[in-house]
Amino acid sequence: MKNTLSLLFFVMLIANTIANVELDRLTRLQKQQQLSKDLVIDTFIEKGNVKELFKVWHTIYNIGYDYNTDEGINRYKIFKENLKTILEHNRQNLDYKLGITEYSDKTVKELEIYFNIKDRTPEEFNQITKSFLSLDDYDDSQDNDPNPPQDESDLQKFAIDYTDDYTPIRNQGGCGSCYAFSTMGAVEGNYVAGNRIRDTPVEKVVLSTQQLVDCDYNPNGGGNWGCNGGWMKHANDYLKTNSPMLDADYPYKAKLGTCIYDSNKTSPVKVKGYQTPRKANGGVFQVLKKGPLAQCINVQSAFYSYKSGFYAPTCTSSCQHAIVLMGWGKEAGTPYWLARNSWGTSWGIGGYFKVKDTGINNYNSCLICDHRYSMRPKTN
């Protein structure tokens, strides 16, 4: 019996390894393809011919409209203005750079509508967070953590990066489903990272965000709003009683549809609850050591064109967009938070972004480590 179990474990380990190798290959391919696109775009920016740049960009990203039409010309004019803003920003040599993305023919207002970026009122947030934590989800370890970060020097002893626990970057498209990608992204990361830490490696997973869009749809209360936004807490509550399916079995459509959840086709991932930090920055860091967090942030106009560096604009305290907080590090003397977005690889550092860590006593740039908007799913 013991030999049989050992053989079974070995076979499962080999299967997981093969699956992870394939997903890693796809991730590398995704990065290589985006680097090639960025190189072509940068070459044409240096040449200074905006019309030729627009044509090349149009081809690279397979834009749907014909640029030899009224719509195409109007989009070109927006593209030209966005490029001007990008170049003016980059000439200032700030901590972060802007760049051309697949969305560079849209105005800020259009992008706010496209991604459903809007302020959540304090009343709405307070109503949601009244039940943000139940007794079963209360994390006693935060009461007795032997080494909670107390100041910047303590934070510098650690570096966290869950990038290798993830599959390729995804794209939510023109659907306000960031909450679904944030929640499922945090679930995926905690499942893989948690088992890796426990020395029980598992296969990386791509979970169904469409399941949350369709099946956790309840605009009248207790659920989310499909492509019109939502809260990670509601999504996590849904997953506690409805195990996540794989994206391969319930693929993403970027639109609200009829729920086709099948309990016979669920993934091996089980969501058991969630953990919320008790305080900003140091508290968020403490929870982040255990796994990635679903996090809501504030979005400013520069964020839509972010390309590299340490994002550090002046933001408001309004929660507008959900991402996955998945690391903390230090580069060239600058401490930063690492996060994963859901706007494809043309945006940011291949879909990721870094936010400058401005100090343990601050909420940091754009709510990136505001504990009031953080949640770490607990998985098997």
Please list the active-site residues.
178, 321, 341
Q: How far apart are CA 4 and CA 362, in angstroms?
A: 55
CA–CA distance, 288 with 254 (Å, rounded to integer): 29
User: Of 218, 208, 217, whose CA–CA distance to 252 is shortest?
Assistant: 208
Of residues 331, 313, 368, 322, the one with CA closest to residue 98:
313
Q: CB atoms < 10 A from the CB of 180, how many?
A: 30
The answer to whether 142 and 195 have CB atoms below 8 angstroms apart is no
Strand partners, 178: none
Give CA–CA dist 67/74, Å, rounded.
9
How many Å apart are CA 165 and CA 328, to the nearest integer?
15
| Alpha carbon separation from 144 to 140, 141, 286, 305 (Å, rounded) | 7, 5, 12, 42
Contact 48, 232 (CB under 8 A): no
Q: Which residues contact 64 (CB under 8 A, 6 or more apart)?
A: none
End-to-end CA distance of the chain: 25
Q: Is 285 helix (H, G, I), strand (E, B) or coil?
A: helix
CA–CA gap between residue 257 and residue 173 (Å, rounded): 15
